[in-house]
């Protein structure tokens, strides 16, 4: 499922790229048979390039599955199960294999969900709409509602200044999550290789500095705030684990720079793609903490996805190490370099699992 964000804000609108089916002309996501030589997500990326002319980071952990009925050339009408992999588009090709056979078009998320025929696929597309959940996560405060209904603005503003300071923790959490997404996207571009390696490394470094400024503000606010939305330990645990994700991204980028790595194995790209999607999931989850009681179930779904990603990444890590050892056993230094990159990528994803644990702890205590 090719997607892109139309802006840099955490709740920026998301667009989905659909293509027309060759036989019926209806709107579908790019899809096809896996074949015997490719992993499922790699096959999905190939189909996206051939059918829709897009490239990007495809997460090896599927978003979900849908079923559809397809009529075969022999007249049989059979049901097929399709695993859907999110693909963060970084490049649109002007010429691609099936350009003359299909139309491609970007749709706003809600419109894309309405264009496809399969209800399960429609639900999967809607599940990408972080802004809908985030709007629900921002209920008006009781005091704000009273002020609006009673029209006592100036007097109410004076009264509010007398109340104990509550801090702007949610705004700070969300600002930090945006830096995580930006750094993850830069990491995804970095492992694709190319001539812009230094610029991608620089961006990751700059994003880490932005995140440091946010966490310093959070820790200062914790000390100065009378009323906090969660236990102070939960706040510092959450922002600390979030900051660990971007610290590990910076460590990975520094290793790439120190060792002069310019070529990245597919397993490394797959782990980076998991980082990109884990950052997106985190950025959706954080605003939901504004109303844990209402959003507990959705938060549990998102943290469960982060945990599944970490498990999947462990498998990719071990397979990648094995392939690297077999390919470089005559050059031990090359293996040590690749092992270091794999280790750094694994640490990023481990840090996202820590974020999931911190969020789950808040949900358990407050839902």
Given this model, what pLDDT does residue 81 score? 87
Q: Are the C-beta atoms of residues 319 and 301 closer than 8 Å to each other?
A: no
pLDDT confidence of 158, banded at 50, 70, 90? very low
In whole angstroms, give the CA distance from residue 18 to residue 104. Answer: 6
Percent of the chain scored above 90 by pLDDT? 64
Given this model, what pLDDT does residue 129 score? 67
Give the count of alpha carbons within 13 A of 198, CB side only.
1
> What mean pLDDT is predicted for residues 45-60?
93
Given this model, what pLDDT does residue 194 score? 82
In whole angstroms, give the CA distance from residue 319 to residue 147. Answer: 60
Q: Are the C-beta atoms of residues 62 and 84 closer than 8 Å to each other?
A: yes
Q: Which segments of the chain are extended strands (E)?
A: 2-5, 14-20, 27-28, 54-58, 64-71, 77-84, 87-92, 104-108
Task: Determine phi and psi for 38, rounding to 5 degrees.
Answer: -115, 150
Q: What share of the chain is helix, strand, coil (3-state, %, to 5)?
A: 65, 10, 25
Residue of 117, 128, 101 lying closest to 29 (CA atoms) = 117
In whole angstroms, give the CA distance from residue 37 to residue 32. Answer: 14
In whole angstroms, give the CA distance from residue 206 to residue 225. Answer: 29
Residue of 88, 64, 33 lying closest to 308 (CA atoms) = 64
In whole angstroms, give the CA distance from residue 30 to residue 269. Answer: 21
Given this model, what pLDDT does residue 95 score? 93
Helix (H, G, I), strand (E, B) or coil at 125: helix
Q: Are the C-beta atoms of residues 101 and 53 closer than 8 Å to each other?
A: no
pLDDT confidence of 257, banded at 50, 70, 90? very high
Higher pLDDT, 139 or 192: 192
Higher pLDDT, 353 or 169: 353
Instruction: Give the pairing of strands 64-71 and 104-108.
Output: unpaired
Given this model, what pLDDT does residue 10 score? 59
Q: Are the C-beta atoms of residues 91 and 55 closer than 8 Å to each other?
A: yes
What does each C-alpha distance from 218 to 215, 223, 289 come to in angstroms? Answer: 5, 9, 16
Please, what is the average pLDDT of the chain? 86
- For the record, the structure tokens of 191 come out as 């492992």
**223 pLDDT more than 60:** yes
> What mean pLDDT is predicted for residues 13-24?
89
Given this model, what pLDDT does residue 8 score? 65
Could you tell me if residue 331 is left (phi over 0), alpha (psi between -120 and 50 degrees) or otherwise beta?
beta
> What mean pLDDT is predicted for residues 245-268?
95
Given this model, what pLDDT does residue 322 score? 93
Given this model, what pLDDT does residue 165 score? 47
Provide DSSP, 216-244. Answer: HHHHHHHHH-SS-SS-HHHHHHHHHHHHH
Helix (H, G, I), strand (E, B) or coil at 337: helix
pLDDT confidence of 187, banded at 50, 70, 90? very high
pLDDT digit string, tens, across residues 288-339: 999 998 999 999 999 999 999 999 999 999 999 999 999 888 788 999 999 9
**264 pLDDT more than 60:** yes
> What mean pLDDT is predicted for residues 61-82?
77
Cα R_g (the chain), whole angstroms: 23
Given this model, what pLDDT does residue 128 score? 76
**355 pLDDT more than 60:** yes
């Amino acid at each position: 499922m090719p997607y892109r964000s139309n802006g840099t804000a955490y709740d920026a609108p998301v667009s989905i790229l659909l293509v027309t089916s060759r036989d019926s002309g209806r709107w579908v996501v790019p899809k096809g048979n896996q074949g015997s030589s490719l992993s499922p997500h790699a096959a999905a990326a190939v189909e996206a390039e051939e059918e829709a002319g897009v490239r990007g980071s495809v997460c090896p952990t599927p978003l979900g599955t849908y079923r559809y009925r397809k009529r075969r050339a022999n007249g049989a009408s059979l049901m097929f199960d399709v695993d859907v992999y999110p693909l963060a588009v970084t490049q649109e090709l002007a010429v691609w294999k099936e350009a003359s056979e299909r139309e491609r078009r970007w749709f706003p998320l809600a419109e894309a969900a309405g264009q496809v025929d399969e209800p399960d696929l429609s639900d999967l597309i809607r599940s990408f709409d972080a802004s809908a959940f985030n709007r629900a996560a921002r209920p008006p405060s009781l005091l704000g509602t009273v002020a609006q209904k009673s029209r006592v603005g100036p007097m109410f503003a004076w009264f509010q200044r007398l109340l104990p300071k509550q801090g702007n923790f949610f705004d700070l959490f969300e600002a930090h999550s945006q830096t995580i997404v930006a750094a993850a996207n830069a990491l995804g571009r970095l492992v694709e290789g190319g001539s812009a390696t230094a610029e991608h490394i620089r961006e990751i470094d700059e994003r880490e500095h932005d995140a440091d400024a946010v966490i310093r503000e959070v820790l200062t606010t914790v000390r100065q705030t009378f009323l906090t939305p969660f236990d102070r330990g939960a706040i510092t645990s959450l922002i600390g684990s979030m900051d660990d994700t971007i610290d590990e991204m910076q460590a990975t980028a520094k290793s790439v720079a120190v060792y002069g790595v310019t070529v990245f194995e597919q397993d490394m790209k797959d782990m980076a793609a998991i980082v990109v999607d884990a950052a997106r999931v985190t950025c959706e989850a954080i605003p939901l903490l504004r109303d844990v009681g209402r959003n507990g179930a959705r938060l549990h779904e998102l943290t469960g996805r982060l945990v599944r990603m970490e498990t999947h990444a462990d498998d990719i890590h071990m397979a990648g190490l094995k392939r690297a050892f077999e390919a470089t056993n005559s050059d031990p230094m090359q293996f040590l370099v690749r092992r270091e990159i794999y280790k750094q990528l694994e640490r990023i994803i481990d840090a996202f699992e820590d974020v999931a644990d911190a969020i789950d702890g808040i949900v358990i205590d407050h839902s």
